Structure 1
Amino acid sequence: MNASEFFALPPSLARFAPFFPADVPPWEWLKKIGLALASVEYGHHALAIPPGVHLEGKVWLDRSVRLPPYATIIGPAWIGAGTEIRPGAFIRGNVIAGEGCVLGNASEFKNCLLLDGVQAPHYNYVGDSILGNKAHLGAGVICSNLRLDQGEVVVRLPAGPVGTGLRKFGAVLGDKAEVGCNAVLNPGSLLGPRALVMPCTPFSGYLPAATIARSRTAITTLPRRD
């Protein structure tokens, strides 16, 4: 299972391409976020920083980023063009966001990669996770990243369980994947492109592309769209 089965790194993040090869398991990208950010030359911000926005450490903001009256951004962090950061957002290190994303109000982001057009607009936790192009989280969605026994996160694939070597690993969402309000993605969840988890659903394991998870036992295939 390779990253290319879930998403493609967009042109806006081409500078990071050496760190995120398409032919490795997608969770391997999580291990490279810090290295990718270390390759950035951080300079002065070209946009005005509102008094209530706290910046700490190495933070790169495109001049077209929309900042709220108050938020906390702790580096290293790289935020791409046209991305909107909403009030109360807490970005706390090792975060890369591409173009046109929404990092929502009262939402927390940590060690994550958001490709272009990601929407995480309301009360979300995105930790140790990768969200593909135009992936969307409904209000209150949690990407849980730590097992209760704090052991290694193992992904449950159709061919059998696979160790990731990670103690913290939230979720991988393919391009245009959708997660409904107040759903919980348990550690090591994998959602293929256009996969959909219904609201208030606790999900674990692997959800293939273009399928719907309605509960732990009900999965429906979506019709094809041209």
Structure 2
Amino acid sequence: MEHCKVKNMYDLTQTLAAPLLETVDYPWEALPKIGEFIKEIGPKLDPEVFERRGENIWIAKSVSIAATATLNGPLIIDEDTEVRPGAFIRGNVIVGKNCVVGNSTELKNVILFNVVQVPHYNYVGDSVLGFHSHMGAGSITSNVKSDKTLVVVKDRYESKEEIATGLKKFGAMLGDYVEVGCNSVLNPGTVVCSHSNIYPVSCVRGVIPANSIFKDKDHVVKKEA
């Protein structure tokens, strides 16, 4: 599954988490390491740009945070990001530059690259969202299977391969410039490769190829040039 590897899904110049992601082949392999990585790099961040606001919490001074937002560490929020009312950041989270964490959005054990928007009623857990990706209102990453078994990434559209991740909690990996339509559910182990779109009110699982449009599980089409 070469198309699911970090090097083929992400522009690593667009995240503080680049040193972590460079150590793994597949992005989900970074999920168990996010918290410790934040603790390692947080104290080294430029104090002219970032300030420490609690135990293992570093926030850029240009970040806008609503008074009703809840921030738990380990956590880094990079420059010029907006955290809106009612947002709940549970910890083990890296938020990039110029992001929007919206009203009633919940984040847990995630990496958001720069210019990511999760702006309205989103749950994003155990996931990596690439540069300029966007989740429409009400769309969520479901991060635990109903039978609680370990997540397997399955590619039914291209390589027909399967990869056992060894992870019980795995939401979704979104490549750069991915658009997820409103009220969609990304099931555990979903990988949406770069520049792909998910129709609103979709139920998505497995690997969605790059430069594709997911209409439903039987209709995944390549974008026209």
Q: Are the aligned partners of 2:97 and 2:114 in contact in 1 as well (CA < 8 Å)?
A: yes
Q: 2:149 aligns with which of 148, 151, 173?
A: 151
What's the offset of the Cα at 1:17?
3.2
Q: Are the aligned partners of 1:8 and 1:22 in contact in 2 as well (CA < 8 Å)?
A: no
User: Is the counterpart of residue 7 in structure 1 residue 10 in structure 2?
Assistant: yes
1:166 maps to which residue?
A: 167
Q: Which runs of 5+ in 2 are unaligned?
A: none
CA displacement, residues 113-155 of structure 1 (integer Å, 9 cap, x when unaligned): 0000000000000000000000000000010000001110000
Q: TM-score, normalised by structure 2?
A: 0.90
2:29 maps to which residue?
A: 28
What's the offset of the Cα at 1:26?
1.4
What's the offset of the Cα at 1:173?
0.3
2:71 maps to which residue?
A: 73
Counterpart of 2:171, as a letter, is G
- The alignment yields a C-alpha RMSD, in angstroms, of 2.2
Q: 1:140 aligns with which of 138, 141, 145?
A: 138
Q: Are the aligned partners of 1:156 and 1:206 in contact in 2 as well (CA < 8 Å)?
A: yes
Q: How many residues align?
A: 217
Q: TM-score, normalised by structure 1?
A: 0.90
Supply the distance in 2 between the matched residues of 1:30 and 1:47 (Cα, whole angstroms): 24
2-11 vs 87-96, which moves further: 2-11
Supply the distance in 1 between the matched residues of 2:24 and 2:31 (Cα, whole angstroms): 14
What's the offset of the Cα at 1:202?
0.2
What's the offset of the Cα at 1:28?
0.9
2:90 maps to which residue?
A: 92
What's the offset of the Cα at 1:45?
10
Supply the distance in 1 between the matched residues of 2:199 and 2:39 (Cα, whole angstroms): 37
Supply the distance in 1 between the matched residues of 2:49 and 2:161 (Cα, whole angstroms): 49
Secondary structure of residue in 1 paired with 2:94: strand
What's the offset of the Cα at 1:36?
1.1
User: Is the counterpart of residue 179 in structure 1 residue 177 in structure 2?
Assistant: no
Supply the distance in 2 between the matched residues of 1:143 and 1:124 (Cα, whole angstroms): 8
Q: Are the aligned partners of 1:104 and 1:122 in contact in 2 as well (CA < 8 Å)?
A: yes
What's the offset of the Cα at 1:159?
3.2
What's the offset of the Cα at 1:84?
0.5
User: Is the counterpart of residue 119 in structure 1 residue 117 in structure 2?
Assistant: yes
Q: Relative to 1, partners in 2 of residues 1:173 and 1:47: Cα closer, same or farther, differing over 3 Å?
A: closer
Counterpart of 1:88, as a letter, is G
Q: Are the aligned partners of 2:193 and 2:208 in contact in 1 as well (CA < 8 Å)?
A: yes
Q: Relative to 1, partners in 2 of residues 1:75 and 1:5: Cα closer, same or farther, differing over 3 Å?
A: same
Secondary structure of residue in 2 paired with 1:113: strand
Secondary structure of residue in 2 paired with 1:109: strand
Counterpart of 1:159, as a letter, is K
Superposition misfits of 4+ residues, deviation over 6 angstroms: 42-48
2:103 maps to which residue?
A: 105
Supply the distance in 1 between the matched residues of 2:50 and 2:25 (Cα, whole angstroms): 37
1:128 maps to which residue?
A: 126
2:39 maps to which residue?
A: 38
Supply the distance in 2 between the matched residues of 1:83 and 1:197 (Cα, whole angstroms): 25
Supply the distance in 2 between the matched residues of 1:47 and 1:24 (Cα, whole angstroms): 30
Task: Determine what percentage of the aligned residue pairs are the same residue.
Answer: 42
2:20 maps to which residue?
A: 19
Supply the distance in 1 between the matched residues of 2:56 and 2:44 (Cα, whole angstroms): 6
